[in-house]
Amino acid sequence: METPDDEFEGLEQSSDFAAVPDAFQRLWTPHRMVYIQDGQQPHADSCPFCLAPDMTDEKALIVARGTHAYVLLNLFPYNSGHLLVCPYRHIATYDEASPEEIAEIGSLTQVAMRVLKSVSHCEGFNIGMNQGRIAGAGIAEHLHQHIVPRWALDSNFFPIIAGTKAIPRLLGDVRREVAGGWPQDGN
């Protein structure tokens, strides 16, 4: 029979290292290294928004694909259901987008809002684009629009006091729900 300690066999335990415990808790996020290395921007050949369309929808967290743009879940969401609308083309700013890309980004945003209202019963949205590193773009070299669903009382003290955002749903579950609610005709 497996004991509770067997479950963690092979994992590093903090008690195995020479250290004096402190009052801080740690949230280990090694998957964020791509955002920390190289000036917090991935190399052009490893842009996650360029790589995502070549993956399966499940692996890339894609919920819908259009002709010029696609919709995926944010890997580091502000709220459950935080979506990104990205053109397939690797462009940095909105003024570089073609009229077709602009139209489809807008259309996909509208559909995403309707789907999120339907499947998550959100009561509002934050929608926006951060253009360039200085404006806070996490991936500054590839245009993307944020769609963040909001609910009454969805804020709490965690972000202010602990610098932590509590996300109540797993990304895979949210992706299945949003993709399942996306209309087959794309509208």
Please identify every residue annotated as catalytic. 144
Nearest to 150, CA basis, from 178, 173, 120, 170: 120
**pTM, full prediction:** 0.73
Structure-token match 């399942």, residue found: 180
Over its length of 187 residues, how does the chain's per-residue pLDDT go in tens digits?
Answer: 555 555 556 666 666 666 666 666 666 666 555 555 555 555 667 799 999 999 999 999 999 999 999 999 998 888 889 999 999 999 999 999 999 999 999 999 999 999 999 999 999 999 999 988 888 788 889 999 999 999 887 766 555 555 667 777 888 899 999 999 999 887 7
For residue 157, give every residue at least 6 positions away whose Cβ sits within 8 Å of its Cβ, in sequence order, or none. Answer: none
What are the chain's domains? 35-181 (3.30.428.10)
C-alpha–C-alpha distance, residues 88 and 106, integer Å: 14
Integer angstrom CA distances of residue 27 from 14, 114, 163, 164, 174? 13, 34, 10, 9, 22
